[in-house]
Amino acid sequence: MPWTLRTEFAFDSAHVITGYDGPCGRLHGHTYRVQMALTSGRLRPSAHIQRNIMVADFKSLKWAKKDVTQGGLDHAFLNEHPDLRDDTTAEVIAAYLHRETLRRVRECLEPGDAGEDLRLKVTLWETPDSSCEYWE
């Protein structure tokens, strides 16, 4: 694929891995770091520009850094999130970020463009030395 768009951001959230026999089973928080890598075989317009000059708008990959009251994951209690609930591992959060980001990117495509060439890899760091990658 000719283009890979990469962007990184962070969000701060609290969580409990429900049922975990150890410290992660108690309420605690992380500054999660995320890298989104979106590969594409062609360039497209975005919500802000009509010419075919973007893989996707960087803004569309960074929705999760918004406050939880604005639809993101910042300053959230992740266990209250309807897509996460008890299972707030890095694996489950990374899969959710992947699913929701691709849904949002596809929602912005022009009629007739299914975005079959788009491939997304999400890397989520829960701590500076522990991360999870999710891609299809």
Ligand X SMILES: Nc1nc2c(c(=O)[nH]1)N=C([C@H](O)[C@H](O)COP(=O)(O)OP(=O)(O)OP(=O)(O)O)CN2
Residues in the site for Zn ion, rule: CB under 5 A? Answer: 24
Inter-residue contact 60 to 105 (CB < 8 Å):
yes
For residue 98, give the nearest of 121, 115, 81 by alpha carbon: 121
Residue 124 binds ligand X, judged by CB under 6 A: no
Question: Nearest approach, Cβ of 6 to ligand X (angstroms)?
Answer: 23
Assess 34 for contact with ligand X (CB under 6 A): no
Token pair belonging to 9: 């951001």
Residue closer to Zn ion, measured from CB, 22 or 82 = 22
Residue 89 in the binding site for ligand X (CB under 6 A): yes
Choose from Zn ion, ligand X, none: what does 130 bind? Cβ within 5-8 Å by kind: ligand X
What distance in Å separates the CA atoms of residue 122 and residue 35, rounded to the nearest whole number?
6
